[in-house]
Amino acid sequence: MIYDVTIVGAGPAGANLARLIGERYTVLLIDKRELGIDKGSGPVGKCCGGLLAPDAQEMIARLGLGIPKEVLVDPQLFAVRTIDLNNHLERLYQRFYFNMDRGKFERWLISTLPAAVDRQFGCVFQDYVPIPGGYELQYTRGGQKCSAKTKILVGADGAFSKVRRSLFGEKHAPEKYIAIQEWFACEEPMPYFTAIFDQEITDFYAWVIPKDGQILFGAALRPGPDAAENFERLKDKLTRLGFCFDRKTRTEGAYIYRPTRASYFRAGKGDIALIGEAAGAISPSSAEGISYALRTSLFLAESLEKGLQSFLPRYSAKARKIRFNVLLKNMKSPAMYVPFLRKLAMKSRVKSIR
């Protein structure tokens, strides 16, 4: 059998695409994680802050979906506490986030897939070779080699995507950060999401998010031998500010792309498309990526409505909106990441809450 579309990665981008095209085309969806097995409340989700930002909420609405309450965690957050360690400033801003369990969110998305989608979880994509009319991809399941034939291949395999690297190598890839997250038991109420800026530690940012009796401390750092040390240094600084990081329950990590140029966005090549973070679709200012994953997968699904022929130019044209959005976010970034400009913005108290 030759599938019409094979999607590598069942995160928000891959799962949403499979949901949208799964009744019209024969679809194979593979993911290295065991997303089909309910492992209860274990750490099954991708390493993520689990905040659904307003843009992502809008996408959920555009897709005609509603989030079940089981996906949410306590508390729901309406404020960002911004701590600027370079300028010794702190402000509170109103924001509207859905605070959720990322693992449950992913499982819920998977539960919306049409029954016809062939899901192969616990399978690691390795490589592909062109064949007449498409591609033959190789993947492994529990160490066993498997293969499948497909007309179209979609890379939805997130940051540091293997599919993207097979097409474009490391050249023109978005800047790569390593995100480390540690979870701590914490009973104290924390009714805000904290964003921490400290140029000595990272030129991106760090965060603390309360989640169901725990707090999640994470930071996006330049990869390298100093990353873990910088993470610990920041933890020390925050401990001195009163954060309590005593009772650690788990540590996790993941790569995160930061497209500091709109040209890092890549729609794909030949009959191979990229969606979500694999395409370089993620906010370079906040690292919010779920709305981009949902939007790019919607654009690709719309591009496939007219058939498989010439779908990539159609997708590429639609994705211009993503490039433009990334450009705008990059224009906004200096106000957040240049310490002097951030100082001006915070000192002005514009839009801050007392």
By CB under 6 A, name the one of 13, 21, 80, 206 that touches ligand FAD.
Answer: 13
* Consecutive H or E run containing 144: strand 144-155
Pattern of binders to ligand FAD over 172-201, x per CB under 6 A?
A: -------x-x--------------------
Q: Which residues neighbour 169 within 8 Å (Cβ) at sequence distance 6 or greater? A: none
The alpha helices in 63-111, defined as continuous H runs, are 102-111
The phi and psi torsions of 346 (rounded to 5 degrees) equal: -75, -40
Instruction: CB nearer to ligand FAD: give 249 or 310.
Output: 249
Shortest distance (Å) from residue 348 CB to ligand FAD: 27
Written as six digits, the tokens of 78 are 């309406």
Nearer to ligand FAD, 22 or 289 (CB): 289
Residue 182 CB, shortest distance to ligand FAD, in Å, is 11
Q: How far is the CB of 3 from ligand FAD (least distance, A)?
A: 15
Q: Does 312 bind ligand FAD (CB under 6 A)?
A: no
For residues 156 and 14, the answer to whether their CB atoms sit within 8 Å is yes
By three-state DSSP, how is residue 188 classified?
coil
Q: Is 150 in the site for ligand FAD (CB under 6 A)?
A: no
Among the listed residues 117, 10, 115, 16, the one whose alpha carbon sits nearest the alpha carbon of residue 65: 16
Among positions 7, 8, 27, 206, the unique one binding ligand FAD when judged by CB under 6 A: 8
Task: Pull the structure tokens for residue 37.
Answer: 């097995």
Q: Least CB distance from residue 237 to ligand FAD, whole Å? A: 19
Part of the chain binding ligand FAD (CB under 6 A), chosen from 2-10, 62-70, 228-236, 345-353: 2-10
According to the binding rule CB under 6 A, does residue 276 interact with ligand FAD?
yes
User: Considering the rule CB under 6 A, would residue 125 count as an interface residue with ligand FAD?
Assistant: yes
Minimal distance, residue 178 CB to ligand FAD, in Å: 9
Window 222-261: contact mask with ligand FAD (x via CB under 6 A): --------------------------------x-x-----
CB 13 within 8 A of CB 293: yes
124 contacts ligand FAD (rule: CB under 6 A): yes
Query: Rule CB under 6 A: is residue 101 a binding residue for ligand FAD?
Result: no
Phi-psi region of 337 (alpha: psi -120 to 50; beta: other; left: phi over 0): alpha
Give the position of tokens 């993503």: 322
Q: How far is the CB of 122 from ligand FAD (least distance, A)?
A: 9
Nearest to 5 by CA among 28, 39, 34: 28
Measured torsion, CA atoms of residues 275, 276, 278, 279, in degrees rounded to the nearest 10: 60
Sign of the C-alpha dihedral computed for residues 48, 54, 57 and 63 taken in this order? negative
Residue listed under structure tokens 């555009």: 62
Bond before 259 cis per omega within 30 degrees: no
Q: Which is nearer to ligand FAD, 8 or 20 (CB)?
A: 8
Binding segment (CB under 6 A) for ligand FAD, from list 75-83, 110-118, 273-281, 327-335? 273-281
Residue number closest to ligand FAD, CB atom: 289
φ, ψ of residue 37 in degrees (nearest 5): -100, 130
Nearest distance, CB of residue 226 and ligand FAD, angstroms = 18
CA angle, residues 257, 260, 266, in degrees to nearest 5:
65
Stretch that binds ligand FAD, among 80-88, 282-290, 323-331, 338-346 (CB under 6 A): 282-290
Q: Does 300 bind ligand FAD (CB under 6 A)?
A: no
Backbone phi and psi for residue 146, each to the nearest 5 degrees, phi listed first: -130, 160
Residue 258 pairs with which residues in a beta bridge?
175
Q: Is 157 in the site for ligand FAD (CB under 6 A)?
A: yes
Please report, as ranges, the residues that interact with ligand FAD according to CB under 6 A. Answer: 8-14, 30-33, 46-51, 53, 56, 124-125, 156-158, 162, 179, 181, 218, 254, 256, 276-278, 282, 287-290, 293
